[in-house]
Structure 1
Amino acid sequence: MSEGPLRHHSFPPSFSESSVQPGPRMESLPEAVLIRILASIPAVDLVLACRLVCCQWKNLVDGAALWILKCQQEGLTGAESQENAENWQNFYFLSKKRKNLIKNPCGEEDLQHWGEVENGGDGWKIEELPGDFGKEFPSEEVRKYFVTSYEWCRKAQVIDLRAEGYWEELMDTTQPKVVVKDWYAGRSDAGCLYELCVKLLSENEDVLAEYKSETIAIPQDNDANWTEISHTFSNYGPGVRFVRFEHGGQDTLFWKGWYGVRVTNSSVTVEP
């Protein structure tokens, strides 16, 4: 049986096609509103996806206002921030990624992650704070330290910046600060020596910048207080891919055992 002709269905007057209006489009929103919407999106998605949607979104993602808002929302514009930061997107990512790149800085894992170890005398030893003839560390979170012997003891770590998430363009163009810190102390009944040497290295491990402390001598009958030493690398030029951190020391009385310098809470951070 053949079907009848198709019937024409018309919308009732209240639902006619002419009365159906499209909702407001994203590009019609005021820029300030659009920035607030984009600021709720994860940063990686903003860079990898949102900035590819259209020219307007690209300009907003590449601009300062969006990243200033994200920094404010996530508490990244406190006393440590730079209100005149040239590139707020990089400031945001560097602030979020900031962490100590030195592994096992306090000896909680024995000598794990430390390479090129030189064990002069009786070699390195890990002890509990405060130790004999020692003082407590300024932070309660630090519970152990490394201690040297009667001949030079040295140990080092090499940090692969790309493996830690600091991409080449960032290191070559922005050249964020590389901040190095270390803590050292003697025991009050023995004198000792301490040295710190940090190098910024290229892909081929050429030295592009270097900081080397003087040989610091701590006399016998010292107060055993912990002392912080620090250095900040900046404007070091393109090509930095690795950071090599080395420290060490010995006692000056040549007593058998572990009467040399004590070190702990070493750190390397990449900062805006």
Structure 2
Amino acid sequence: MPSNNIFIFPFFILNQCLTLLRVGNPDHSFPPSLSDRTQPAPGMESLPEAVLIRILASIPAVDLVLVCRLVCCQWKNLVDGAELWILKCQQEGLTTAESDAENWQNFYFLSKKRKNLIKNPCGEEDLEHWGEVENGGDGWKVEELPGDFGKEFPSEEVHKYFVTSYEWCRKAQLIDLRAEGYWEELMDTTQPKIMVRDWYAGRSDAGCLYELCVKLLSENEDVLAEYKSETVTIPEDNDASWTEISHTFSSYGPGVRFVRFEHGGQDTLFWKGWYGVRVTNSSVTVEP
């Protein structure tokens, strides 16, 4: 069983890394070249590689990439290898026995960053964060679930929804992937899957229409990939149940910098008020 002293090693290693990198650099900037650093850190060369991997796995991921990787060739190879990142994924519950990844370092960072990139997906902040809003008829409205002639949402975490009127209502969000932390090299080479989901429903006493359109855009907002649903028709006297619609973008090519999410609809009876399609719990996620 390893000695308890092993738990103080990560702090020693990190300090050693910083010391090595800052020699001759009082401004703490990284040296332009570390090709001459071919020997492991003093006192560490005798450690078995498996032990060194376990020690390095205790260090924060950003420090591994920006600091430890630059110490010597051995550490660079370990940080660039799969074994270290598989261990970190296992330690932090990011992987299962069935998990497989082409690049485990990217898998780790994408798993840690995974979140819904749509802001205010359920109307808790009224129409905040939604731009390019088209308010046909009486415009968009936010209502509490289940609403008149409606049904509860499948998840108890969702409490509100957006509802449309008797003419087309649309709203959109533009997601800046770089601002969300997805760097250009990752998007251009790894091209992680981009998963889009939305939920819609009608009221049981009125028919309605629904559409979803999602575009992957370049730096200049040129369309590089697009998903557009058919116009979904919900008949009058429907059961008001909630339906999920989803699409996954993959192998979309380099250059994607933005995701534009747009959805909307209207009722088919042209009744004044808010009898059109209901939408909620929209999501855009970058998958590991």
What TM-score do the two structures reach when normalised by structure 1?
A: 0.90
Distance in 1, Cα, partners of 2:241 & 2:284:
22
Give the deviation of 1:92 after TM superposition. 0.2
Taking a change above 3 Å as real, the CA distance of residues 29 and 185 of structure 1, as seen in their structure-2 partners, is same
Distance in 1, Cα, partners of 2:184 & 2:28:
63
Distance in 2, Cα, partners of 1:174 & 1:130:
41
User: What SS is found at the alignment partner of 2:59?
Assistant: coil
Distance in 2, Cα, partners of 1:66 & 1:165:
22
Taking a change above 3 Å as real, the CA distance of residues 55 and 191 of structure 1, as seen in their structure-2 partners, is same
Give the deviation of 1:78 after TM superposition. 2.6
Taking a change above 3 Å as real, the CA distance of residues 132 and 77 of structure 1, as seen in their structure-2 partners, is same
* CA displacement, residues 235-262 of structure 1 (integer Å, 9 cap, x when unaligned): 0000000000000000000000000000
20-29 or 90-99: bigger deviation? 20-29
Taking a change above 3 Å as real, the CA distance of residues 10 and 237 of structure 1, as seen in their structure-2 partners, is closer
* CA displacement, residues 82-117 of structure 1 (integer Å, 9 cap, x when unaligned): xx3110000000000000000000000000000000
Are 2:27 and 1:8 aligned?
yes
Give the deviation of 1:168 after TM superposition. 0.1
Taking a change above 3 Å as real, the CA distance of residues 14 and 139 of structure 1, as seen in their structure-2 partners, is closer
Taking a change above 3 Å as real, the CA distance of residues 270 and 110 of structure 1, as seen in their structure-2 partners, is same
RMSD: 8.0
Give the deviation of 1:27 after TM superposition. 1.8
Distance in 1, Cα, partners of 2:35 & 2:211:
83
Give the deviation of 1:160 after TM superposition. 0.1
What residue ranges of structure 2 are gaps of 5+ in the alignment?
A: 1-25
Taking a change above 3 Å as real, the CA distance of residues 136 and 27 of structure 1, as seen in their structure-2 partners, is same
Give the deviation of 1:11 after TM superposition. 41
Taking a change above 3 Å as real, the CA distance of residues 151 and 30 of structure 1, as seen in their structure-2 partners, is same
| Aligned match of 1:197 | 213
Distance in 2, Cα, partners of 1:106 & 1:48:
38
Q: Which has the larger radius of gyration?
A: 1
What residue ranges of structure 1 are gaps of 5+ in the alignment?
A: 1-6
What TM-score do the two structures reach when normalised by structure 2?
A: 0.85
| Aligned match of 1:70 | 88
User: What SS is found at the alignment partner of 1:28?
Assistant: coil
Distance in 2, Cα, partners of 1:9 & 1:253:
68
Taking a change above 3 Å as real, the CA distance of residues 185 and 164 of structure 1, as seen in their structure-2 partners, is same
Taking a change above 3 Å as real, the CA distance of residues 38 and 220 of structure 1, as seen in their structure-2 partners, is same
- Alignment counterpart, residue 168 of structure 1, candidates 184, 203, 209: 184
Taking a change above 3 Å as real, the CA distance of residues 14 and 253 of structure 1, as seen in their structure-2 partners, is closer
Taking a change above 3 Å as real, the CA distance of residues 152 and 38 of structure 1, as seen in their structure-2 partners, is same
Taking a change above 3 Å as real, the CA distance of residues 25 and 192 of structure 1, as seen in their structure-2 partners, is same
Taking a change above 3 Å as real, the CA distance of residues 261 and 13 of structure 1, as seen in their structure-2 partners, is closer
Taking a change above 3 Å as real, the CA distance of residues 13 and 171 of structure 1, as seen in their structure-2 partners, is closer
Give the deviation of 1:65 after TM superposition. 0.1
Give the deviation of 1:28 after TM superposition. 1.4
Are 2:42 and 1:33 aligned?
no
